């Protein structure tokens, strides 16, 4: 797209964090934004970025990156580093669009808010879920008064807990967890569920209450939750909260990692209601016995371009609003204050869970007197050490294969569990879907030798360190998929073959 969008003005953008950050390149090109620089500590990330953006200057040095000739920085570094990177970019005179969330502690939040205020630069949060086609249409209807007042909403961002948050950094050994995914609670990661409600309604969250969960997804390295020394679980736990909004309405905000993904979204107003899954349905009539209308709304202007840019169009829109605010002055939805609201909602929800459901305020950092109360508040989740999931005297010849062996076994773990579960309910499965179960059984039979080899390698680490956090996670996964059945592969194969013969 040419740059007529912004009155002929162009934006020079640098991307800091080239994993997630590389996802924005197509959107930037569609908007006529010049991606001129990239920064990442990972050689593999830098190589890939150079392949898809050869015109950009690329470095591993933060200081060299920030000294380059660019107007703005998109920060997509590790989750706990966002505040530090934001402060450094602002100090270098760059506008900032930061991936979720904005900061990790209230004290960091105060520092970031005041740095943005002092700089006079644009800060936007890169929260994209409000900008799906359905949510943008709901926002339009809400602003027109279609829904009346928000009474209640349920928005979810639940990802299946299919892995133990393995280390993905190519420069680190394989006996460790991912730098932040291996310990951080999903409460922190609340923006994809709460964010759409905030943008649709224009309301801010004011109070939150949450309870801890002691039932954790099997096979994640979670330190046994809060049962051992108060450690809270990572992305392998469900994290529901109830949030009191500024108009008195309530939002059930659900994040977590469990046995199934869920992105259900429902909103109830005093005049109408809506749900977005499996398709967008409006419920009208304002009397409870609703008249349902299934709708397929059009995108706003530029929607066709947004759809082609990928990630459901959301990345395009957040980058569009960011560039528009810098180049034209028109305000974007996610300024530093809204970003603080949604970030603090997650922090305070986790705090409420730690306190066994005690309600917590969600402070309004627009107000200096409120910021003053949190200026030295460095509260953070108590968590496992991702670098120490095996004993200090571990044999690296064994444990350095943890990530490798776990990753190799994961497809077979999923295949085993999926097949056995589907077989159990085959007789009550819809006829058209039974063929899927039959194909699963056939696939598993063909892969039994590979599955056993993968499970045996993974089991060797557990047998060496059975009581370590890494060993316990392996044990849970092997039990989950009934891996012991492969110890007698002939009997198990006969079991699968007999199923096929009977069906």
Q: What is the pLDDT of residue 239?
A: 96
> Using an 8 Å Cβ cutoff, are 141 and 199 in contact?
no
pLDDT tens-digit readout, 415-440? 999 999 999 999 999 998 999 999 99
Give the mean model confidence (pLDDT) for residues 202-225.
Answer: 90
Q: What is the pLDDT of residue 323?
A: 97
| Local confidence band at 226 (pLDDT 50, 70, 90 cut-offs) | confident
Task: Return the percentage of the chain with pLDDT > 70, whole number.
Answer: 98
Give the mean model confidence (pLDDT) for residues 17-44.
Answer: 95
Name the average pLDDT for the chain: 94
Taking 80 as the threshold, does the pLDDT of residue 2 lie above it? no
Q: What is the pLDDT of residue 7?
A: 82
Q: What is the pLDDT of residue 306?
A: 86
Residue 15: count other Cβ atoms within 10 Å of its Cβ.
30
Rounded to the nearest angstrom, the gap between the alpha carbon of residue 471 and the centroid of all alpha carbons in its chain is: 26
pTM of the model: 0.95
> Using an 8 Å Cβ cutoff, are 273 and 267 in contact?
yes
pLDDT tens-digit readout, 61-103? 999 999 999 999 999 999 999 999 999 999 999 999 999 999 9
Taking 60 as the threshold, does the pLDDT of residue 123 lie above it? yes
Taking 80 as the threshold, does the pLDDT of residue 196 lie above it? yes
Q: What is the pLDDT of residue 305?
A: 82
> Using an 8 Å Cβ cutoff, are 102 and 109 in contact?
yes
Backbone angles phi, psi at 3, to 5 degrees: -90, 20
The residue with greater pLDDT, 175 or 5, is 175
Q: What is the pLDDT of residue 198?
A: 98
CATH architecture of the domain formed by 130-301+332-374: 2-Layer Sandwich (3.30)
| Local confidence band at 169 (pLDDT 50, 70, 90 cut-offs) | low
**Residue 311: which of 60, 38, 26, 40 has the closest Cα?**
26
pLDDT tens-digit readout, 281-328? 999 998 877 799 999 998 888 888 888 777 788 999 999 999 999 999
CATH class of 3-126: alpha beta
- For the chain, which residues make up each domain, given as ranges? 3-126, 130-301+332-374, 396-502
Q: What is the CA radius of gyration of the chain?
A: 24
> Using an 8 Å Cβ cutoff, are 99 and 82 in contact?
yes
3-state helix, strand, coil in the chain (%, to 5): 45, 15, 35
The residue with greater pLDDT, 377 or 227, is 377
Give the mean model confidence (pLDDT) for residues 48-71.
Answer: 97
Taking 60 as the threshold, does the pLDDT of residue 488 lie above it? yes
Taking 80 as the threshold, does the pLDDT of residue 21 lie above it? yes
Q: What is the pLDDT of residue 301?
A: 83
DSSP labels for 299-366? Answer: P-TTHHHHHHTSGGGHHHHHHHHHHHHHHH-PPPS--HHHHHHHHHHHHHHHHHHHTTS--EE---TT
Taking 70 as the threshold, does the pLDDT of residue 260 lie above it? yes
| Local confidence band at 170 (pLDDT 50, 70, 90 cut-offs) | low
| Local confidence band at 26 (pLDDT 50, 70, 90 cut-offs) | very high
Taking 60 as the threshold, does the pLDDT of residue 1 lie above it? no
């Amino acid at each position: 797209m040419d740059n007529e969008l912004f009155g002929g003005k162009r934006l020079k953008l640098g991307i800091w964090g080239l994993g997630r950050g590389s996802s924005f390149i197509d959107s930037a090109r569609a908007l006529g934004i010049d991606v001129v620089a990239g920064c990442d500590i990972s050689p593999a990330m830098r190589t890939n970025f150079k392949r898809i953006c050869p015109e950009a200057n690329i470095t591993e040095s933060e200081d060299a990156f920030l000294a380059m000739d660019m107007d703005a920085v998109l920060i997509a570094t590790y989750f706990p580093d966002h505040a530090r990177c934001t402060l450094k970019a602002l100090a270098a005179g760059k506008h900032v669009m930061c991936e979720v969330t904005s900061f990790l502690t209230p004290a960091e939040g105060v520092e970031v808010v005041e740095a943005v205020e002092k700089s006079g630069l644009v800060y936007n949060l890169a929260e994209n879920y409000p900008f799906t086609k359905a949510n943008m249409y709901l926002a339009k209807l809400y602003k027109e008064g279609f829904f009346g007042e928000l009474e209640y909403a349920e928005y979810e961002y639940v990802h299946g807990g299919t892995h133990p948050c393995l280390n993905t950094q190519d420069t680190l050994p394989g006996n460790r967890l991912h730098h932040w995914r291996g310990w951080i609670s999903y409460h922190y990661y609340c923006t994809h569920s709460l964010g759409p409600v905030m943008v649709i309604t224009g309301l801010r969250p004011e109070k939150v209450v949450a309870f801890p969960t002691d039932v954790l997804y099997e096979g994640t390295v979670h330190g046994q939750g809060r049962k051992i020394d108060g450690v809270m679980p990572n992305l392998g736990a469900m994290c529901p909260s109830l949030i009191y909004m500024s108009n008195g309405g309530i939002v059930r905000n659900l994040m977590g990692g469990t046995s199934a993904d869920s992105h259900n979204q429902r909103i109830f107003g005093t005049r109408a209601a809506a749900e977005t899954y499996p398709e967008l349905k409006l419920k009208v009539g304002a009397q409870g016995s609703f008249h349902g209308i299934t709708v397929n709304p059009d995108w706003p202007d530029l929607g066709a371009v947004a759809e082609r840019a990928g990630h459901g169009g959301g990345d395009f829109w957040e980058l569009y609003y960011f560039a528009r605010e810098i180049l034209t002055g028109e305000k974007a939805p996610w300024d530093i204050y809204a970003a603080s609201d949604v970030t603090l909602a997650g922090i305070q929800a986790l705090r409420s869970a730690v306190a066994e459901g005690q309600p917590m305020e969600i402070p309004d950092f627009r107000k200096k007197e409120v910021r003053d109360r949190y200026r030295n508040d460095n509260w953070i989740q108590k968590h496992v050490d991702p670098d120490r999931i095996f004993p200090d005297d571990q044999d690296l010849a064994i444990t350095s294969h943890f990530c490798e062996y776990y990753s190799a076994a994961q497809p077979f773990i999923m295949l085993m569990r999926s097949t056995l579960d589907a077989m159990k309910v085959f007789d009550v499965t819809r006829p058209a879907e039974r063929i899927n179960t039959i194909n699963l059984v056939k696939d598993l039979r063909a892969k039994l030798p590979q599955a056993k080899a993968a499970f045996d390698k993974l089991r060797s680490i557990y047998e060496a360190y059975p009581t370590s956090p890494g060993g316990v996670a392996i044990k849970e996964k092997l039990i989950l998929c009934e891996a012991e059945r492969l110890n007698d592969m002939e009997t198990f194969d006969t079991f699968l073959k007999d199923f096929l013969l009977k069906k």
